[in-house]
Chains A and B, each alone.
Chain A
Amino acid sequence: MILLTRKAEFSSAHFYWNDAWSPEENQRVFGKCANRNGHGHNYTLEVTVAGEVDPVSGFVVDLKELKAILEREVISVYDHRHLNLEVPEFTTRIPTTENIAISIWQRLDGRIPHAKLHRVRVYEMPDLFADYYGEP
């Protein structure tokens, strides 16, 4: 089995807020990330898929196809958007790096032909990233 990783980037705005809490509690827990006007990041997405090498093509997946799937399922939805306000899953889920990784997994799982999704890694910045392996 081979693991193959494709990288993509998106730039988005977000803020952290839990509607069940008072503004003071949101401020205490999330600090400056609770600013309701939002702030943003250049996110880097790494999608790793696992599969067998096709004996004819020598590929696990066709990278052009994987690139197109990432573009269609994730980048076109997240890039230059406000995650809280414009991306459906984040109306009920705070767009933390962890939740972004989980959401991207859910967007991609089962949609990559000939390979199994292995890991979604999302860098919020070079020194902070979250991994999701599909664990419930």
Chain B
Amino acid sequence: MTTSAANPQPRAYLSRRYRLSASHRLHSDTFTADQNRTAYGKCNNPHGHGHNYIVEVTVGGPVDAATGMVCDLGQLDAFAQTNLLDRFDAMNLNTLDIFRSVVPTTENLTIEVHRIFERFPGAKLTRIRIEETSNNSFEYSA
């Protein structure tokens, strides 16, 4: 297998799904108690609730001629372990620094996770998609 400039490698996208379980409470300090209840309904329960989130990370790029891969999956998994799972899995999202002044909706979680994987050195991030439940999912691309 050889690569040459005259024969560019096709561009493909690789997606990996990670699972994390976390609790959160949707509450904005800029709203009154009534406004919070109206805006967030049962998600405003003061004691919080939780989800089994599925985080789908998509990276894209030329398929390496030597490996046949867009990125080293081991490197992506290790990055996800350190920067996603170790930080978010089995946590209360509201207690994390990033959600001190930002409501931990799945929209905001998706944007934060996108920010994290933009720093992945092994391949270019294309999209983050998070399933909060099997009925709700959120996508963010830069």
Contacts and interface: CB of A to CB of B under 8 A. Distances in A.
Given A93-B1, A136-B8, A20 B13 contact: no
A18 B64 CA distance: 12
Given A99-B63, A102-B63, A131-B15, A92 B1 contact: yes
Contacts of A98: 12, 14, 63, 68-70
Instruction: Give the interface residue-count category, chain B.
Output: 20 to 34
Contact of B67 (A18, A127, A131): A18
A19 B68 CA distance: 13
Contact of A131 (B1, B13, B18, B68): B13
Contacts of B16: 127-128
Contacts of A136: 8, 10-11
Interface residues of A, number: 28
A93 B68 contact: yes
Q: Identify which of B12, B15, B66, B67 gathers the most chain A CB atoms within 10 Å of its CB.
A: B12
Interface of A: 16, 18-21, 29-31, 92-99, 101-102, 126-133, 135-136
Interface of B: 1-2, 8, 10-18, 58, 63, 66-70, 72-74
